[in-house]
Amino acid sequence: MAGPDNDDAGAAQAWLTAPSQSAPAGPASTSSASNGSASGAKPAQPAAGGPPPRQPQGGGRRAGVGQAETPLDIVFVSAEVAPWSKTGGLGDVVGSLPVALAARGHRVMVIAPRYLNGGQNDALYEDAVDTGVRAELALGGCGPQTAGFFHLHRNLVDWVFVDNPVFHRPGNPYGDEHGVFGDNQFRYALLSLAACEAPLQLQIGGYRHGEPPGFAYGERCVFVSNDWHAALVPSYLAAKYRRNGVYLKTRCIFAIHNLSHQGVEPAATFPNLGLPDDWYEHLSWEYPSWASINGPAVNLLKGAVLCSDRIVTVSQGYAWEICTSEGGWGLHNVLLGRQHVLNGITNGIDMDEWDPARDAHTPAPFDAADTSGKAACKAALQVELGFDVDARIPLIGWIGRLDHQKGPDIALDAVPGITQRGCQMVMLGSGSAKYEAAMRAAEAAHRASFRGWVGFSVPVAHRIVAACDVLLMPSRFEPCGLNQLFAMRYGTVPVAHATGGLRDTIRSYDPHAAGGDVATGWTYSPPDSGAMLRALDQALDLRWHQPDLWAAIMRAGMTADLSWDRAAADYEQVFAWALMDEPARAF
Ligand SMILES: Nc1ncnc2c1ncn2[C@@H]1O[C@H](COP(=O)(O)OP(=O)(O)O[C@H]2O[C@H](CO)[C@@H](O)[C@H](O)[C@H]2O)[C@@H](O)[C@H]1O
């Protein structure tokens, strides 16, 4: 069996039977639900009384990239971005949606921290040059702060990295082996305020349509601030800038990738945010009764829901779920109040990075026309894992953060049942120590046919996605999910809990369906191992007894339009709506 891979920068990782190292903590802040097409290609719904929705872009893959009717200056703000600082799906999205928007003719800047942790990952920032600009930031009780800006122009996008000592420390972006960093509210307030300065101060914006470099984006742009870490951007724009006559024509879209993290801290921290006193009401918050702590608090994500011009989340299913008491994490009433500006846009995937015909991490190329390379990938992974090498044995995979959301416990509960069915299974994940221990125990008990990998390794993720027959996604909730999309592109059939983006993107097999589109996988409910095993049984039965239909299911996934160009066009529609309206909070 193979030992640990060392090809993933900065990752601590090991097969469980190899000498194991502790994995970096997963992302976390201080606190903390429709059927659809295979492509997820439903257009965003308009706000009530808003303009009619744009027509869908067509079902199949489009020959070329569309062009924007109105090129805009767009500024993304995010705590993580692939490849520099990805810890999960947020990094994937912010690494690829901006590229898709730039390819459509927009001028796009992405602003994220310049994380230096002393590991191999630091080298990724070497191509970014110091602009020499130092922004003085007024962050209230924290005193004046300085932010530097490093810049790299690549794939038509301006990648800007905010530099400050708070981003230079061992660990992952959000924490280290001791847990989540205690000053994350301050670190991401600094990022958010620096991001507001970047379009005004950086003379980098000259790359659109052959314009000469050397001028600023200026104050007529569209911000896309992502998740709680960038949730102060709409508040800063409204309270600090518009009140002073700046950014009057700018709009801010707030993108929710995961509502369970909201950036909640005690109310006493409000003065540290550098916001005027009268802004407190937008952020004020009482912990819900189910929270383990109580007392007055500030909730950065709540502020963004109230103050941003439009809100986007990453699937239509999730846009619905977060407006319910079950899926709203205490914010459903606030979200219901702004439902008229809330849209769900299903994520795409990076079709270059996740291309089975050109994947540098896998041993053999394949595509929908010829899947023989997939069999080679499976055999290679069986060798690597020390499993029997046999194409007939179903190989089942699971990849994700070891977090309650992703249902690693549900997957682990099913291990005895899966191995009894004669399958092999591999799990890749990092995060909670208790789930890591459970993976170790499962491997010890089922050494012939179960392997776990503790750590974060993009190459291993590619090898598992390419090799497996089935990918399990037992997530309790899933705003969009990317692994099911990667899996479909590699002919790996997803079996997933019918929730959020999983239900939107997987066309579930229905033996009673009369004609129509071929399925791309299975969805099941409720989110427990029994329901998951029943769906897996149906899938395996079909694989054995109707191989032609199984191949058609694989092909349907592999040929679905999962590209970002479709989603990028939907984002453009949201930008256009935002620009038609007055700012949500003028001052
Ligand atoms: N141990 C490991 N080694 C290597 N790679 C690993 C890994 N663990 C996870 N990954 C990778 O990290 C990414 C995770 O994507 P998800 O869609 O599951 O995102 P996540 O839940 O982090 O983010 C949130 O944001 C995204 C983006 O909007 C939503 O899709 C999602 O539903 C929402 O919860 C994938 O690229 C996956 O392959």
pLDDT surpasses 90 at 20: no
Chain segment 477-507, per-residue pLDDT in tens: 999 999 999 999 999 999 999 999 999 999 9
Does 239 sit in the ligand 1 pocket, CB within 6 Å? no
Q: Which residue has the tokens 């601590």?
A: 12
Q: Are 219 and 200 in contact (CB under 8 A)?
A: yes
Question: How much of the chain, in percent, has pLDDT values that exceed 90?
Answer: 79
Nearest to 313 by CA among 571, 76, 37, 51: 571
CA distances (Å), 446 to each of 206, 440, 451, in order? Answer: 58, 10, 8
399 HSE (CA, 13 A, CB side): 28
Does 424 sit in the ligand 1 pocket, CB within 6 Å? no
Does 315 sit in the ligand 1 pocket, CB within 6 Å? no
Which two tokens mark 446?
């089922």
pLDDT surpasses 70 at 11: no
Q: What is the DSSP string of 288-337?
A: -TTSS--SEEEEHHHHHHHHSSEEEES-HHHHHHTTSTTTSTT-HHHHHH
Chain segment 74-114, per-residue pLDDT in tens: 999 999 999 999 999 999 999 999 999 999 999 999 999 99
Chain segment 180-222, per-residue pLDDT in tens: 999 999 999 999 999 999 999 998 865 555 555 557 888 889 9
Does 92 sit in the ligand 1 pocket, CB within 6 Å? yes
Does 456 sit in the ligand 1 pocket, CB within 6 Å? yes
Cα of 88 vs centre of ligand 1, distance in Å, is 4
Q: Are 474 and 494 in contact (CB under 8 A)?
A: no
Does 483 sit in the ligand 1 pocket, CB within 6 Å? yes
| Helices (H), ranges, 414-499 | 415-420, 433-445, 458-467, 483-489
Q: How far is CA 560 from the centre of its chain?
A: 20
Pairwise CA distance, residues 122 & 138, whole Å:
28
In ligand 1, the atom with minimum distance to the C-alpha of 13 is: 1
Which amino acid is located at 78 in the chain? S
Average pLDDT, the chain: 87
Which amino acid is located at 573 in the chain? Q
- State the CB neighbour count (10 A cutoff) for residue 516: 8
Q: What are phi and psi of 31, to 5 degrees?
A: -135, -170
Measured in Å, how far apart are the chain's first and last C-alpha atoms? 62
Q: Are 88 and 401 in contact (CB under 8 A)?
A: yes
Pairwise CA distance, residues 201 & 213, whole Å:
14
Kind and range of the H or E run holding 317? helix 316-321
Pairwise CA distance, residues 311 & 225, whole Å:
10
Pairwise CA distance, residues 11 & 24, whole Å:
7
**Among 351, 404, 456, 482, residue to substitute to test ligand 1 (most atoms within 8 Å of Cβ):** 482
Q: Are 180 and 25 in contact (CB under 8 A)?
A: yes
Does 480 sit in the ligand 1 pocket, CB within 6 Å? yes
Which two tokens mark 36?
């659809």
Nearest CA to ligand 1 atom 11: 88
Nearest to 569 by CA among 68, 78, 170, 213: 68
Q: Are 218 and 250 in contact (CB under 8 A)?
A: no
**DSSP 8-class letter at 123:** G
Nearest CA to ligand 1 atom 36: 89
In ligand 1, the atom with minimum distance to the C-alpha of 429 is: 1
Nearest CA to ligand 1 atom 22: 88
pLDDT surpasses 70 at 270: yes
| Three-state secondary structure readout of 170-235 | CCCCCEECCEECCCHHHHHHHHHHHHHHHHHHCCCCCCHHHCCCCCCCCCCCEEEEECHHHCHHHH
pLDDT surpasses 90 at 43: no
Pairwise CA distance, residues 36 & 317, whole Å:
9
Q: Identify the residue with better confidence: 47 or 86.
A: 86
Which two tokens mark 243?
């009140």
Nearest to 567 by CA among 499, 496, 505: 505
Chain segment 333-352, per-residue pLDDT in tens: 999 999 999 999 999 999 99
Q: Identify the residue with better confidence: 47 or 333.
A: 333
Question: Across the chain, which distance is largest between two alpha carbons, in Å?
Answer: 69
ipTM, two decimals, is 0.99
Cα of 474 vs centre of ligand 1, distance in Å, is 14
Q: How do strand 310-313 and strand 251-256 relate by DSSP bridges? A: parallel
247 HSE (CA, 13 A, CB side): 32
Mean pLDDT lowest for which of 346-350, 469-473, 485-489, 516-520?
A: 516-520
Cα of 462 vs centre of ligand 1, distance in Å, is 13
| Residue 580: strand pairing partners | none
Torsion, Cα 41 42 47 53, to 10 degrees, reads 90
Q: Are 462 and 492 in contact (CB under 8 A)?
A: no
Q: What are phi and psi of 90, to 5 degrees?
A: -55, -45
Cα of 277 vs centre of ligand 1, distance in Å, is 37
| Helices (H), ranges, 322-371 | 332-337
Does 482 sit in the ligand 1 pocket, CB within 6 Å? yes
Does 258 sit in the ligand 1 pocket, CB within 6 Å? yes
Which two tokens mark 76?
């993304």
Q: Collapsing DSSP states into helix, strand and coil, what is residue 267? A: helix
Q: How do strand 14-15 and strand 450-454 relate by DSSP bridges? A: antiparallel
Predicted local distance difference test score (pLDDT) of residue 376: 98
In ligand 1, the atom with minimum distance to the C-alpha of 82 is: 36
Predicted local distance difference test score (pLDDT) of residue 15: 43
Q: Identify the residue with better confidence: 562 or 58.
A: 562
| 14 pLDDT tier (thresholds 50, 70, 90) | very low
